[in-house]
Structure 1
Amino acid sequence: MPEEAKLRYDLRGLKCPLPVLKTRKRMENMTAGALIEIETTDPLAVVDIPHFCNEDGHRLEKAEPVSGGHRFLIRKKT
């Protein structure tokens, strides 16, 4: 089964609240059910990104540590 297409968004180097604000803005024009993968070095993102998903109705598909930060896979609400 081929991997589902996803938009990759590099937010490394940005501090709170910019990763959430930029992710929200980028997701505005995405179609419902689309995937976005973000990578951030902000240590607060492990709290902020799940909270953002919960508040806006998106589904956090995956959260994992990566070298120097974290990677999140988010599915836009349908």
Structure 2
Amino acid sequence: MSVEFDIAETLDVKGASCPMPVVKTKSAIDDLSEGEVLEVLATDPGSMSDLDGWAAGTDGVEMLDQEEGDEVYKHYVRKTE
């Protein structure tokens, strides 16, 4: 499945393990404007639940989609405020 979003920025956190994907995603999302989408590329399988949980518990962000690939996990997060 291929997701079509207007991606403002791509964050590459491949090779990083918990909690760095979440820490770096928060930092990158802070630099975006409202409505912009951040694509996060990770290799840590835990990033699927970590980033989803972070987005669910954080005001101002929305997890749009997550894709589990063979080696790379893709996350699409929108800044909502």
Scaled to the shorter chain, the TM-score interval is: 0.7 to 0.9
Where structure 1 has 5 or more consecutive residues not aligned to the other structure, the ranges are: none
Listed one character per residue, the Cα deviations across residues 7-41 of structure 1 (whole Å, up to 9, x for unaligned) are: 11111000000000011011112111110000101
Q: Which position in structure 1 is the counterpart of 2:43?
A: 41
Instruction: For 1:25 and 1:4, locate their aligned partners in 2 and report how far apart those are by CA, in whole Å.
Output: 20
Instruction: For 1:74 and 1:44, locate their aligned partners in 2 and report how far apart those are by CA, in whole Å.
Output: 16
Listed one character per residue, the Cα deviations across residues 19-74 of structure 1 (whole Å, up to 9, x for unaligned) are: 00011011112111110000101111111001111111311111011231310011
Give the CA deviation at 1:6: 2.3
Q: Which residue identity does 1:26 align to in structure 2?
A: A
Identity of aligned residues (%): 22
Relative to the length of structure 2, the TM-score reads: 0.85
Relative to the length of structure 1, the TM-score reads: 0.88
Describe the shift of the 1:16–1:70 C-alpha distance in structure 2 as closer, same or farther (beyond 3 A).
same
Matched, 1:60 2:68: no
Where structure 2 has 5 or more consecutive residues not aligned to the other structure, the ranges are: none
Which consecutive segments of 4 or more residues in structure 1 shift more than 6 A? none
